[in-house]
Structures are given as structure tokens and as C-alpha cells.
Structure 1
């Protein structure tokens, strides 16, 4: 396969759904309809692999020679191994996930954390493009995912949703994720108070140059972002629920012929641990 491919497949595996599409690597636009199937109950590796095969079959890209493939997954991912499991089976903990998918699909892939690939999507095609310094993307949903990007390079597996609230015994995502808003029946201003604590704390710890807020709730950014008082600019993500697909596709060539990269991918393939 040529490392100068102009399109790639991105697959975003989540706790409830598995989404995929073919992506134009020059623009980040979806070239096909987004295909979505339910994540199998229990989310065991074999069952998830079978569901990914269904997505690729519906996209008509099952042939390994068609287009490169990148996969996003809700876990700490280091050297292709998943070291945690969020809303999937505990079987994924300390699991050789990348090689498992490569063997099962019969092709090379690039496998990365879902929040990290969302960060890459915003770096390449969205709100973080051409931004110097430290960008911190957070995804607000069931939990709080994070991606840290410094001068265009991803610092993988940051897990900033798990900073703890002193003397409260809960981490940030238990207190301030979008799921906490729904669980505790908060209105926008009440939720914004919790977000204020969270972003102020992250701002103090890291002194970022830009916050980017992703996740599905980012489409309602006008209801809560203006309520926050921060020194750091904070903006909604451009790609929202498609960010995982787009970022995974953007990183797909990192799984192809290491060290052989063209101008469109050399700044992406080195942005995450492999």
C-alpha cells in the first residue's frame, strides 16, 4: 500500500456504538455515510472484532489493499496494548489489542486512544489547527477524555478526567462529566459551576494556551462555555461526534510502513505512541 494514500478508514469504538467512515485525508471530510453498529453486549474482544468487520463490510473496504485503517478505542493505549478499559470488558486490560485486530482483519492498522485521536482531528482539521503552545482537548460525555497537544505533537494517554477533587473521594469525571449533569439533573448554570472547578484546576496545573471542548454536548457550547471564567481561551470542537473517525483515519498511515511518510502524513504519524 502506498504511504501517499489520500483517503483512509477511521473506526471509532465506543461503549455503546462502533462508527466508521472513509475520510479524505487532505480535508478531514467524510467521503461516505457514517456507518454505525451497536457495541456488542459485554464488549469482549472477539465480539468487538466481529462488529468492526461488519462496519468495514458495509463500507466495502474489507480488502487490506483498499485504504489504510485507523482505530480509536476507549482505553489507555501504549505500543498497541490496551492498559485500561472504559465501558468495555475487563478482558481488554493489558491486552495486545493492535496485533489482535491486525491478525483478525488481515491488515496493518494504527490503534490509539479515542480522546487522543479526537485531539488529532482538531489539530489537523479543526479548532487546534495552527495553534502554538499547549492545547488541551477534553471530551465531555459519560466520562471526561483528554488529549494534550504541544506545538503540534500529541502527548498520549493524558487521562485528565481522572484528576481528583481534594477531600471528596471522586475524580473529575464523576463530578463534572456530561453524565453527571444528567444524573444529578443539573441545569446549564449548575453544570457550568462544576466545569468551572474542573477547567480552573486543569488551567492551574498546565497553563495551556487553548482549551477545546468536544463530545456531543459541544453542539450546545453556547449554553455553558460563556458561563466559564478562565484566563485560557476555550472553544468548542469542530468535529464533535465524528472526531474519533476523522482522527483515527488521519493516524492510519502510522500503521503502514514505518518511516515511509509523505508530506500529508508526516506530521500526524509521529503524534502518538505506537
Structure 2
């Protein structure tokens, strides 16, 4: 039986795992991302991890999730957020030369979506969306059981859709994007507090904090409305650090979706939280490798 390796590359850490085709993880590793995180230093660190996990040479392929977009061939990292000097880096080539494995790349949010669809909250479902709520708002689209990449692999920037045309400016060049309201900075702008602090206050029954989460949930529902109309998914999975307070905002999100979305476009729609936590990207990267095989 051929095994595969999944790598989740982040700005501060690199997670790696070796997986059987059934999704069982045989072994895991985690190291700090080299600093400075130049392309060559990172490629060497990933190769060393992979070679360690593949000491018996029974793995044939590896998937790598990166914090940024990849090209249409899934071999070149166009840019990588929080990594230094990354622009059109041929990461797949660099790692293949040092490992002998067949390598494919994808955005980390896409990998997280694949992971949740394979072994997490979305298993047994064919059409789903993953929304990651954190420093930004990311996402992944799974259609008919496969990751939807769009033209040149650039689809799935779900946080950059417009929520309010006159809203605050976004790094993307947009104004009032979904991300500007539902990210950590969006919560801070609306409430003046960090999400974790707001969560602690809500847990203690603080009425102002609970009201802020209800407002947040309604904004999230408004953003999801556009996506539900386009994709009519079976399930929307909510992940990322902010999802830790989902008990306080998902009821308002569900109410907003029910108010805004025609019943025919939300038949049997489930809105759930992610199950794999920070392992989702690594699991999804392994799924990428299996699909490559």
C-alpha cells in the first residue's frame, strides 16, 4: 500500500504527517518555520521532514498547503503571506529534487477544506463550503466531491466578496469586503475587543458581549447568503480561531440565512463547525497527494 505525506506550511510552523490511503495518520511531525523564511530554507526544511517520514521509501507523493495562492499547474507558489522573499517560487520542483516524491501545492484554506471534506465535518457530503474565520476570512469550495479551483487556480477567495460597497478598505483593493467585517480586525472594529476576550465575557453572561456576537452572527449570515445562492451547498463548515465562540454567533447566522435565502436554495442546508482544528490543512494536503496518485 502506497502512503502519502501532507505538509501544512505556516509563517511560524510546519506540520507534516504520513497517511495511509484510508486517511489514518501513521506519524506526525512539527517544526518551526526557518527564520528568515526564504524559499530555499523552507524547501530544505520540508524536504528534511519528508525524508524523515519516508525513511522506508514507501511514499510516492506529497501535498503541500501554503499561506497564499498557487499557479494553475499547482507547482508554483505565487506569493506566501508572512514568508520572506516569496514570489513565483517553484516550490514543487525544489522539494521534488530533494525527496524524489511527486509534489503538488495548494492554498492552505483549500487544503483545510479538502481535509474537512475527507475526514472532518464534511465527510459523506459532496458539495460544501469551508469558511475560515481568523486574521482574514478564507475559504474553500468542494463541488461534487472535488476542490473547485476556477480559472488559473484562483477561485475560493470567499472573504473578498463585497458585503458593503461603502465599507472599510481591504488589502485586495475592494471596499467593505466580507473579511472586513468577519475577521479578527472586523470584530475589534465593531466591538473594540479581541475575539477571545469577547468570548470569555459572553461565557460569563455579559449582555454587551452577547449582543456583539449576535451582531457578528448576522453579518456572517449576510456574507454567506451570496455564497449559498451561488453554490447551494449541502453544508457550510465554519473554521478558524473565531469559531471557538460559535455557540454565541451561529444562532444569529442561521436566522439571517433563513431570512435572506429562499427556501428552495437552502434545502437541508447544514451550518456546522469544523472538526479537525489545526490538523485540517495537513490532512487536506495528504488528500491532494492521493488525488495526484
Is structure 2 residue 54 aligned with structure 1 residue 65?
A: no
Moved over 6 A (4+): none
The residue that corresponds to 2:77 in the other structure is: 82
The residue that corresponds to 1:17 in the other structure is: 13
For residues 110 and 147 of structure 2, the distance between their equivalents in structure 1, rounded to whole angstroms, comes to 7
For residues 255 and 99 of structure 1, the distance between their equivalents in structure 2, rounded to whole angstroms, comes to 15
Q: Deviations over 1:5-56 (max 9, x none)?
A: 2x32211001222111223431x34322x42222233432112123324533
For residues 122 and 241 of structure 2, the distance between their equivalents in structure 1, rounded to whole angstroms, comes to 18
Count of residue correspondences: 246
The residue that corresponds to 2:182 in the other structure is: 176
For residues 233 and 53 of structure 1, the distance between their equivalents in structure 2, rounded to whole angstroms, comes to 39
- Secondary structure of 2:102's partner? coil
Task: Specify whether residues 55 and 208 from structure 1 end up closer, same or farther in structure 2 by C-alpha distance, changes over 3 A only.
Answer: same
For residues 15 and 93 of structure 1, the distance between their equivalents in structure 2, rounded to whole angstroms, comes to 15
* Between 174-183 and 113-122, the greater mean CA deviation after superposition: 174-183
The residue that corresponds to 1:155 in the other structure is: 148
* Between 144-153 and 160-169, the greater mean CA deviation after superposition: 160-169
The higher radius of gyration belongs to 2
Task: Specify whether residues 126 and 42 from structure 1 end up closer, same or farther in structure 2 by C-alpha distance, changes over 3 A only.
Answer: same
For residues 180 and 40 of structure 1, the distance between their equivalents in structure 2, rounded to whole angstroms, comes to 31
- CA deviation after TM superposition for structure 1 residue 130, in Å: 2.5
Task: Specify whether residues 136 and 47 from structure 1 end up closer, same or farther in structure 2 by C-alpha distance, changes over 3 A only.
Answer: same
Task: Specify whether residues 54 and 223 from structure 1 end up closer, same or farther in structure 2 by C-alpha distance, changes over 3 A only.
Answer: farther
Is structure 2 residue 275 aligned with structure 1 residue 248?
A: no
TM-score normalized by the length of structure 2: 0.73
Is the 1:25–1:249 Cα contact (8 Å) retained in structure 2? no
Listed as ranges, the gaps of 5+ residues in structure 1 are: 257-274
Is the 1:135–1:148 Cα contact (8 Å) retained in structure 2? yes
Listed as ranges, the gaps of 5+ residues in structure 2 are: 150-154, 171-176, 199-212, 259-268
Q: CA RMSD in A?
A: 2.6
Task: Specify whether residues 37 and 189 from structure 1 end up closer, same or farther in structure 2 by C-alpha distance, changes over 3 A only.
Answer: farther
TM-score normalized by the length of structure 1: 0.78
- From 212, 229, 252, the equivalent of 1:227 is 252
Is the 2:47–2:95 Cα contact (8 Å) retained in structure 1? no
* Structure showing the higher helix proportion among its residues: 2
